[in-house]
Amino acid sequence: MSRTYASYAHPWWQRLLVNREVAVLALLVAVVIWAVGNVVYFGTTLTMTYLLLDTAPVLFIALPMTMVIVTGEIDLSVASVVGLSSVIVGVLYRAGVPIGVAALVALVVGLLCGALNGYLVAYVGLPSLAVTIGTLALFRGLAVGLLGTTAVTSFPKEWTDLATAQIGTTGIPLIMVPFVLLAVVLALVLHFSPFGRGIYDIGLSPEAADFSGVNVARTKFVLFLLTGVVSAFAGIYYTFRFGSARGDNATGLELQVIAAVLLGGVSIFGGRGRLLGVIAGVLLIGAISSALRLLGVTVNVINIIIGALLVASVLTTNVLPWASSLTARLRRPGTRPQQAPSGVGSSKR
Amino acid sequence: MTDTVPHTDRATEALVEPSRLSPAQRAVSALVRSREVSILVVLLAVVAAATVKNPNFLFSGNGWRDLLLTPSILMLLAVGQAVVIITRNVDLSVGSVLGLTAYLTGRLFVDHPDLPIVAVVLAGLLAGGVLGLVNGVIVAYGRVPSLVITLGTLYIYRGIVLTWAGSNRINAADMPADFLALGTNQILTIPVLFLVALAVLVAVGYYLYTARGGREFYAIGSDPDAAVLYGLRVKRRVLSAFVLSGALAGLGGVVFAARYGTVSSDAGTGLELSAVAAVVIGGVAIFGGSGTVWGAALGAVLLVTINRALPILGIPDFWQQALVGALILGAIVLDRLLASRRARRLVESRDESPTHTAEPGPAEPTDSALAEAREQA
């Protein structure tokens, strides 16, 4: 289940054809083209604007989540951090704190949430799945505890307008500017920096990464910090976008984020996946949901389709290499394909 | 080090020195130190605190009944989830499976009023088993991570219920009185549904502890690669774990319908995380290979009971979830501390074991390690 370098034996255009990111991007383009042609109103600027506004929280959180999953860890607590930061903005605003300060405090709380996850996973060495199920409940509980069943609404109009503002008359939401900036920076870090190489090394084999000089614990800690801050930012956006701070804001969003990341070609075992594919994955789910909703299909069917896509996507990533190794074995009788060393991938489900 | 038992027969040498305690002493000390007992103590403390504050929590007919009845559903889910997690997998679809079978149960009563109750219960069990089978086949034979697959089927199964049920709701009036009575009936003051959960727990617990198949679950979870090399039927075992988890979630759905009387399409939403939390609190290692269903079931009871006790203890129920989260974190941190202490003890006892000094051949590094250990002592 580790990455096979055998694929480099093929020419670049063949690799491009079987490339996961390209496949997701192609699917996205196909869905958009089909929807523009067949779904009334899908091609309008307004639909596109709302598509981006609605998927923005998932888009943001998917970026650091990708990096966390590439190291072979996972963070299930992101939606609870969204809820907690939303509540903190609400509670502080209600108490008369200037809204800019409230947002800043929410970001710091997000950082602290990430620090707790990161400390327990990276330095104590606990399994991230268990830790973040715990902090999922903890952070959500703090959010609900702070605000109860009430909601803080009536935020200043300039802030709620800011969340839905567009760049001029292009229809592109303003929130896409920080997103694109963050995506570019993180893509550079992940794909073109020693720190980013370290992230992949950790995912492929933490021991080997450690021996080759990667600071495994610090890398993981930093990534959890990043996830916390970005989730808090998404929470602030969420609050102003819907003009409401509630304890149960964004419940269940973690599963949407993880579904999109995995759909985008990131291996849950770590060590494989690229940001481009993930962004395409988020937009693919967003486009399908948006198109089907315009067609009057209910949210249930959309759930089924997203679930089926997720299952199909891992089945293809895992069954295709297996099938190709099988054909390779058939072609050269007597030689068995090199088995992935145990420990890589098998330590995680 | 001077009072260690001298060994004479090399054939009886063990890696770790045999305990000097009698079997009975060892059993008692293992019991006292076991995770299950510590959860039970916490559980009793919670019940005691709530009862002191409000005697009705335990000493009223309703209080006693609810104490046992409310955790029954989560107990069923936790037992199934524990078996799956012991094999180093996870089943996130149980909440959706429960919702689907709960609705199926109600639907069967509405559409076929003459069906005997037993047939409906079996149908729920079977439906859950089939949904579990789907998970199991994909995970075991598709060689794909269970976290992803069951996340996918979580969406798919929930989507199926939502489509099927729409905004329909099965009400108590739609179901036969005999079936709903299952939710309230008691035998010797113990609710029937709790007895069902208990029977499942005992059966699965006994199987895991004694049967060859049960031990194989642990072997697979400890080291899947080794289990394959050893010749265990890993795929079939993993498959059966998922079928069990699905069937128990199906039974949970039937119990849900009997207990609450109304079923809508969102029944059981989010229960998967509670089930995993119960299992983790119960001391089952999230990476498989260790833990018991007894612990998982106690974890489920503790989770549910804490939620019910908090308002009585004067803590607003808004804070329940935060406490549950802290409890989960506490449980896994505690596990890590205990595990590292145990590992240190084992290393120490190995280094101090007399069999080690008698080792012939190239034992230079061990000897120096031993000298180091002596210096430190």
What pLDDT was estimated at residue B210? 87
Dist. CA B208–CA B272, nearest whole Å: 22
pLDDT at A335 over 70: no
Residues 6+ apart with CB under 8 A from B182: B117, B192, B193, B258
Contact call for residues A217 and A15 (beta carbons, < 8 A): no
Per-range mean pLDDT, top range of B15-24, B33-42, B251-260, B284-293: B251-260
Contacts of B155 in chain A (CB under 8 A): 255, 259, 303-304, 306-307, 310
Quick one: pLDDT band at residue B12, thresholds 50, 70, 90?
low
What pLDDT was estimated at residue A2? 42
Quick one: pLDDT band at residue B14, thresholds 50, 70, 90?
low
Of B302, B324, B311, the C-alpha closest to B53 is B311
Dist. CA A24–CA A30, nearest whole Å: 10
- Min Cα distance B46 → chain A (Å) is 19
- With an 8 Å Cβ cutoff, are B162 and A145 in contact? no
**CA nearest to B269 within chain A:** A252
Of A226, A281, A230, the C-alpha closest to A68 is A226
pLDDT at A349 over 50: no
Q: How far is CA A185 from CA A57, A193, A235, A271, A300, in A?
A: 18, 11, 21, 20, 36
**DSSP 8-state assignment for residue A271:** S
Longest dimension (CA), chain A: 76
What pLDDT was estimated at residue A30? 92
What pLDDT was estimated at residue A328? 65
Domain ranges of chain B: 23-315, 318-377
**Which tokens go with B140?**
């075991």
**CA nearest to A262 within chain B:** B148
**CA nearest to B134 within chain A:** A311
* Dihedral (CA of A222, A224, A230, A236) sign: negative
- Mean pLDDT over residues A206-218, rounded? 92
Quick one: pLDDT band at residue B353, thresholds 50, 70, 90?
low
What pLDDT was estimated at residue A326? 63
pLDDT at A4 over 60: no
- With an 8 Å Cβ cutoff, are A141 and B322 in contact? yes
pLDDT at B10 over 70: no
What pLDDT was estimated at residue A306? 79
- Mean pLDDT over residues A262-287, rounded? 89
What pLDDT was estimated at residue A338? 45
- With an 8 Å Cβ cutoff, are A303 and B156 in contact? yes
- Mean pLDDT over residues A197-211, rounded? 92
- Min Cα distance A108 → chain B (Å) is 19
> Does B351 or B106 have the greater pLDDT score?
B106
Please count the residue pairs, one from chain A and one from chain B, whose beta carbons lie less than 8 angstroms apart: 165
Domain B23-315 fold: ABC transporter involved in vitamin B12 uptake, BtuC (1.10.3470)
Dist. CA A320–CA A328, nearest whole Å: 12
Average pLDDT of chain B, as a whole number:
81
- With an 8 Å Cβ cutoff, are A318 and B224 in contact? no
Determine which helix (DSSP H) or strand (DSSP E) holds B305, and give its type and residue range.
helix B293-312
Quick one: pLDDT band at residue A327, thresholds 50, 70, 90?
low
Dist. CA B286–CA B288, nearest whole Å: 5
Domain ranges of chain A: 60-282
What pLDDT was estimated at residue B186? 74
- Min Cα distance A35 → chain B (Å) is 22
Percent of chain B exceeding pLDDT 90 equals 20
pLDDT at A20 over 70: yes
pLDDT at B316 over 50: yes
> Does B230 or B243 have the greater pLDDT score?
B243
Q: How many CB atoms lie within 10 A of CB A186?
A: 18
> Does B183 or A155 have the greater pLDDT score?
A155
- Mean pLDDT over residues A169-193, rounded? 92
What pLDDT was estimated at residue A1? 39
**CA nearest to A298 within chain B:** B163
- With an 8 Å Cβ cutoff, are B162 and A322 in contact? no
**Nearest by CB: B156 against A130, A136, A307:** A307
Residue B225 touches partner A, C-beta closer than 8 Å: yes
What pLDDT was estimated at residue B130? 95
- Mean pLDDT over residues A181-203, rounded? 94
What pLDDT was estimated at residue A321? 60
Quick one: pLDDT band at residue B273, thresholds 50, 70, 90?
confident
pLDDT at A346 over 60: no
> Does B76 or A166 have the greater pLDDT score?
B76
Reported as a single tens digit per residue, the pLDDT across A121-170 is 999 988 888 898 889 889 998 998 898 878 888 888 888 888 888 887 78
Percent of chain B exceeding pLDDT 70 equals 87
- With an 8 Å Cβ cutoff, are B147 and A268 in contact? yes
What pLDDT was estimated at residue A18? 63
- Min Cα distance B258 → chain A (Å) is 25
- With an 8 Å Cβ cutoff, are A149 and B224 in contact? no
- Min Cα distance B156 → chain A (Å) is 4
How far does Cα B90 stand from its chain's mean position? 11
Of A91, A115, A111, the C-alpha closest to A101 is A91
Contact map slice: B 135-194 vs A, CB within 8 A: 138, 142-149, 151-163
**Nearest by CB: A300 against B142, B162, B327:** B162
Contacts of A126 in chain B (CB under 8 A): 332-333, 336
Contacts of B147 in chain A (CB under 8 A): 74, 129, 268, 349
pLDDT at A16 over 80: no
Reported as a single tens digit per residue, the pLDDT across B127-151 is 999 999 999 998 888 878 888 888 8
**Nearest by CB: A268 against B89, B148, B318:** B148
- Mean pLDDT over residues B180-188, rounded? 76
Quick one: pLDDT band at residue B76, thresholds 50, 70, 90?
very high
Residues 6+ apart with CB under 8 A from A146: A84, A87, A88, A91, A247
- Mean pLDDT over residues B172-201, rounded? 81
pTM for this one?
0.79
pLDDT at A340 over 50: no
- Min Cα distance B41 → chain A (Å) is 21
> Does A157 or A78 have the greater pLDDT score?
A78
Residues 6+ apart with CB under 8 A from B34: none
- Min Cα distance A165 → chain B (Å) is 32
Contact call for residues A187 and A276 (beta carbons, < 8 A): yes
What pLDDT was estimated at residue A87? 95
Contact map slice: B 303-332 vs A, CB within 8 A: 316, 318-329, 332
What pLDDT was estimated at residue B144? 80
> Does B362 or B262 have the greater pLDDT score?
B262
Contact call for residues A288 and A306 (beta carbons, < 8 A): yes
Determine which helix (DSSP H) or strand (DSSP E) holds B186, and give its type and residue range.
strand B186-187
**Nearest by CB: A262 against B148, B160, B333:** B148
Angle at A305 between CA A58 and CA B89, to 5 degrees: 75
Residues 6+ apart with CB under 8 A from A266: A66, A69, A70, A272, A273, A274, A277, A278
Contacts of B319 in chain A (CB under 8 A): 141, 144-145
Quick one: pLDDT band at residue B155, thresholds 50, 70, 90?
confident
- Mean pLDDT over residues B289-301, rounded? 89
**CA nearest to A323 within chain B:** B142
**Nearest by CB: A315 against B144, B162, B224:** B144
